[in-house]
Structure 1
Amino acid sequence: MPLKSIIQDMKGELGSISRKGFDVKFGHGMGSRSQRIVQDSLVPIDAFNQSCWENMPAELLRDVLMRIEASDITWPPRKNVVACAGVCRNWREIMKEIVKTPEISGNLTFPISLKQPGPRNTLLQCYIKRNCSNQTYYLYLGLNQSATNDDGKFLLMARKCLRPTCTDYIISLYGDDVSKGSRPYIGKLRSNFLGTKFTIYDSQSPNSGAKVTKSCFTRLMNVNQVSPRAPAGNYPVAHILYELNILGSRGPRRMQCIMNAIPASSIEPGGVAPTQTEFLHSNLDTFPSLPFFRSKSTRAESFQSGPLSGQRDGMLVLRNKAPRWHEQLHCWCLNFNGRVTVASVKNFQLVASAGENVAPGQEQHMNVILQFGKVGKDVFTMDYQYPISAFQAFAICLSSFDTKIACE
Structure 2
Amino acid sequence: MSTHPLITTPLTEDLLRGALDLERTGHGLLPHRLPARARARNTDGQLAMAEAQPSGVRLVLRTRATVVELDTVPTKRVYVGAPPRPDGVYDLLVDGRLAGRASVAGGNTLTIDMATGSAEVLPGPAGTLRFSGLSAGLKDIEIWLPHNETTELIALRTDAPVEPVPGRGRAVWLHHGSSISHGSDAASPTTTWPARAAALGGVELVNLGFGGGALLDPFTARALRDTPADRISVKLGINLVNTDVMRLRAFTPAVHGFLDTIREGHPTTPLLVVSPVLCPIHENTPGPSAPDHSALSEGKLSFRAAGDPAETAAGKLTLSIIRAELARIVEQRAAEDPNLHYLDGRELYGEADAVELPLPDALHPDAATHLRIGERFAELAFRADGPLAVAVD
TM over 0.5: no
| TM-score, structure 2 normalization | 0.31
| TM-score, structure 1 normalization | 0.30
Between structure 1 and structure 2, the one with the greater Rg is 1
Q: Which has the higher strand share?
A: 2
